[in-house]
Amino acid sequence: MGLAKDKKPHLDSGTVTSVLKRVIAENGRDHVKGYAFAIFCLVVVAATTAFTAWIMEAVVNEAFANQRADIVWLICGAIFVAFVLRGLATYGQSVTLSKIGNNIVARYQRRLYSHLMGLSVGFFSEARSAHLAAQISQNVNGVRDVLNLTVTSTARDLLTLIALIGVMISKDPILSLIVFIVAPPLILALRYVSRRLRSATRESVELNSHVLGAMQETIQGIAIVKAFTMEKELGNKVEKLISQAENRANRIARLTERTAPLTETFAGFAISSVLAYAAFRSIYDGVPPGAFFAFVTALLMAYDPARRLAKLQVHLERAVVNARMIYALLDLQPQQREKPGARDLVVTEARIEFRGVSFAYASGDLVLRGVDLVADGGRTTALVGPSGAGKSTIINLIPRFYDPSEGCILIDGQDITDVTKMSLRQHIAYVSQQPYLFEGTIRDNIRYGRPEATDAEVEEAARLAFAHDFILAQPFGYETPVGENGVTLSGGQRQRLSIARALVRNAPILLLDEATSALDNESEAAVQKALETAMSGRTVIVIAHRLSTVVNADKIIVMHEGRAVEEGTHETLAQREDGLYARLNNLQSPDTSP
């Protein structure tokens, strides 16, 4: 049975074409009508733009050369209609593509959240949360940009350019040939820039995520930062990261804007050559100027779409880098998959059994070594022992935060790997040694234990956790916002709220990982009484460093170096003079007198 380490794919998951195909395959069908309408609008934009250039010959020849007033009104009306149509079409395609893009971003945010929730705890233990959040926030727009850039560039810029080139060729093929002579060198130069930009963009995204991550960590740990006067050290660290990100961003700017002198040089050469050729033809051959003006108008109008198309690969490379990093997360394969045909857990006695369980975290030695233990149903089993003995690991294996590398864990004779994780965890209430509260009110945080719980049940759980009185003392009682991770509450208050959250769940199995570690002596005594009531009729596994909290446990299991070395009640274990529990008890004897 493998450890809960999710498999990571290779980050560089394909070329621009392969990423584009995947984006279209995942999103194209759902937005066919929207994209069809946007493309129609873009075709209108391209057609009206080309029409404006084409009609310039008639404007010059009929209005200025032939001076036909009757034709002028018709020409001006046609130009006005063309501009109105282009404005409406531009508005239509812009709004449509924005709505589609926003929907795509929202869809991938939902997918990412759902996918991340399906990954194992082991993945989040290795990944820095601040780095992960920053990476997601920066890159999720990449998928939208890949599609929008492709659609707008193909339907608007490419069609506009083709239409204007058609106008140019129809007006003067020789002038058109001059323009195209210098195009191949420009294309080759832009491809070279795009290749260099790809690696620079990936490095920039990584560096920016490190910057945001470092800032977030500093904010979250501001009390420690100030207490240990770490401002200078962390400031130097962040300054170094910011400087690296700035340098990388400057390099991207240089590479991106390098297209400007290339395209401007191309445009300058093409336009000056065209003007020289047309001027000499008009001076020496007497050619009417209408076709020339139409050609120049088409050439000038073609400059913007040509410039955007020239930058397309550069911008597309940046968007694809972002999209690749999102797909790298989405392509992570969860190790802890449900077995085919996994059934729901059926709990009767809630008896928990470990059979030959060994476990090691991804980057370390064995933490558990062939552990055999039984937590009887409806009784309290305490785990004690020195730090690093494997007590918290046992707690983490029961809800399948991780899977053992050897052995199995049974609940009422059912291997927990054969049942669904959802049904398993629905029968477990969990209180960690580090209480965590979510954004919202006190009532919301307690109700997370069981969303369908009534207000009366929430308040009863708070009373059992001896939290009711301090809650009523808050400015808005149960409706008081707790702030980020309960920053407005003391450590003991946060822990009692997390205990209330576990109690309102009303689950047959209760896991307490040093649940009273953050409480003062008075609060601990009160909560211990509440827990004794809450433990009645439940299977409870409790970890405690202070033996005074577990002297009344039905069974005490002593852990040492990843093994269960002793088992019994407080009285029997304390009488073994050569036992580890007896030594621990003697060290804490003022606290453990019966």
Q: For residue 357, is it within any domain?
A: yes
Tell which residue, 222, 584, 153, has the closest CA to residue 385: 584
Structure tokens at 73: 């009104």
Verify that 314 and 357 share a domain, yes or no: no
Verify that 209 and 248 share a domain, yes or no: yes
509, 429 in Cβ contact below 8 A? yes
352, 374 in Cβ contact below 8 A? yes
138, 211 in Cβ contact below 8 A? no
Q: For residue 88, is it within any domain?
A: yes
Verify that 407 and 263 share a domain, yes or no: no
Q: For residue 307, is it within any domain?
A: yes
Among residues 330, 358, 374, the one where a domain terminates is: 330
pLDDT below 50 — which residues of the chain? 1-4, 8-13, 591-594
Q: For residue 109, is it within any domain?
A: yes
Tell which residue, 432, 431, 453, 430, has the closest CA to residue 443: 453
Q: For residue 575, is it within any domain?
A: yes
Verify that 213 and 76 share a domain, yes or no: yes
What is the structure's pLDDT at 22? 86
What is the Cα gyration radius of the chain? 35
Q: How far is CA 491 from the centre of its chain?
A: 29
Q: For residue 439, is it within any domain?
A: no
End-to-end CA distance of the chain: 43
Tell which residue, 284, 568, 416, has the closest CA to residue 1: 416
What is the structure's pLDDT at 420? 92
Verify that 322 and 376 share a domain, yes or no: no
What is the structure's pLDDT at 13? 44
Verify that 202 and 314 share a domain, yes or no: yes
Q: Around Cβ 322, how many Cβ atoms within 10 Å?
A: 23
Tell which residue, 497, 504, 493, 502, has the closest CA to residue 456: 504
Q: For residue 339, is it within any domain?
A: no
Verify that 325 and 411 share a domain, yes or no: no
Q: For residue 126, is it within any domain?
A: yes
What is the structure's pLDDT at 259? 66
What is the structure's pLDDT at 129? 66
Tell me how many domains the chain contains: 2
Verify that 323 and 357 share a domain, yes or no: no
Verify that 240 and 381 share a domain, yes or no: no
What is the structure's pLDDT at 406? 92
Verify that 275 and 355 share a domain, yes or no: no
Domain that includes residue 274, residue range: 16-330
Verify that 363 and 321 share a domain, yes or no: no
Verify that 51 and 144 share a domain, yes or no: yes
